Structure 1
């Protein structure tokens, strides 16, 4: 592996990049031609251009793109696409360039990236290479968030047309239809030998700083060697709804020191009853699960002001 400084210099000087865009994402198909125009206008030599219409083929597409040994692998899509891509570039001498073309773009927000396309592409020319933490839920890597409870049903229920129309607001609106029939569950989180028990409708374990497009807490980082577990509300539906609406409309999130958070590098999660996991927007695996973080597990392109620890 090159040093981060050497890798940054190679990207700035050689401009050797491959581009993958999920054209089934919220803005992927509409912005695909613009992505290519902006990359070429930025002086990048594209070793491959890969539109993805079937997300099941993403692994093969990434493998084909990496065969040309680009310094920068640019991936455009939502959090599910980016999380899937992360697992294939983790530990490799290639930097991931992120284009936020999804609904909530939590991963891009955690990296401090501009959410407009031109701004995101400019980071590839003006930014730097950083090594950030990678989450692992069971044997599945994730970039941003593993969640359990109402969000799993919402992920399977929310309509694509509603996401295209309303963006991130589609998720809380869909939750309103799911919540009346949802039953609370008990979760047991063991961290550093201490077991935490709670009754809730929703539990999240975050590697990144954002959930649903809103900040989790002021001092959460995607590069601090720890995960953050927290519940929304309690076993009462009204409290869950109230807390969700307050955070969605005001963005008032407390500090880790003052909020009901459990933090650690490794967490054993058990639930009663067993629950499916929503991993960066894709429903996979079931509890019990070991959730952990891999420090500096993946290399990405970020703005110069990003704090790389």
Structure 2
């Protein structure tokens, strides 16, 4: 038995519609935990409050849900008096942060492999005082998240993100911005700005180095044109070598902090949740939380990164 006390937080939707996931998780965890507390969130904000107020009482915090649930709970865990070790159990549509941690997409297997794997100090980001694990985006990515049809998402899963992307691309408009980072200022126009801590977006593998979760830096892409083929190539693992020079269609920056100002307020997509606006003050909290990773260094082969990946995710 590895942990005396653990808390598993799951959202109400997972409890009602995905009972099998919860059962799979408990079965996989039973032999490793002395006392397991199950806590269901019932309304927005519950996960953050529970993890902030109660997270420090446990040795292990397990989070079952999609990227939105993870985002909410991490905002609580990051502010807990004592941060426990954290295991992500993917129960959503895209599960991008679980993919970044190289975990299987089945809840039972994820629980087994996470707890058999290794715990690592991991960077998280902040935007305007709010924590994020995976990414912050402005422009096309935010519009795509806002254009997702919730009923379509329930029926079609990640395909709904692809359809939303196609709808959004037809009406993508460039915006004026000023971006200040560690080494300078970019004053230009773009259709999208992405600051990534994670390595997956809408199930697509982002083209950044795997060790980036531990380097105290964010990977920033400035995309100046809305061409689907170009965005698709880069956001599905394309080579960034040709995009490091400033002034091109895509610009790539590594920085520990950045600020983004826009001529007019723009919505900010944080881990698929849109509730903030520019100006954006974004930075890294190095080695802030301890997460379980898949046990193998080459565990990417075990993660279902589908070939029909889409762009933005949540």
Specify the TM-score bucket, using the shorter chain as the normaliser. 0.7 to 0.9
Secondary structure in 1 matching 2:158: helix
* Aligned: 1:54 with 2:43: yes
Write the mapping of 1:58-207 to structure 2, written as runs, cut at 5 A. 58-63=47-52, 65-66=54-55, 69-90=57-78, 92-207=82-197
* Aligned: 1:272 with 2:260: no
Contact map agreement 1:269 1:288 (CA 8 A) in 2: yes
> How far apart are the structure 2 equivalents of 1:49 and 1:256?
47
> How far apart are the structure 2 equivalents of 1:203 and 1:289?
11
After TM superposition, the score normalised by the length of structure 2 is 0.82
Q: 1:281 aligns with which of 272, 283, 300?
A: 272
> How far apart are the structure 1 equivalents of 2:14 and 2:234?
26
Aligned to 2:22: 32
> How far apart are the structure 2 equivalents of 1:123 and 1:203?
34
Aligned to 1:242: 229
Deviations 1:175-212 (A, max 9, x none): 22233333211222211241113422221111111111
After TM superposition, the score normalised by the length of structure 1 is 0.83
Contact map agreement 2:48 2:74 (CA 8 A) in 1: no
Runs of 4+ in 1 over 6 A off after TM superposition: none
> How far apart are the structure 2 equivalents of 1:268 and 1:218?
21
Structure-2 change in CA distance of 1:101 and 1:125 (3 Å): same
Structure 2: segments with no counterpart, 5+ residues = 245-250, 299-314
* Pairwise CA distance, 1:269: 1.1
Secondary structure in 1 matching 2:27: helix
Structure 1: segments with no counterpart, 5+ residues = 1-11
Contact map agreement 1:215 1:253 (CA 8 A) in 2: no
Contact map agreement 1:136 1:292 (CA 8 A) in 2: yes
Deviations 1:66-121 (A, max 9, x none): 36x22111001111211221122227341111001111111111112222222211
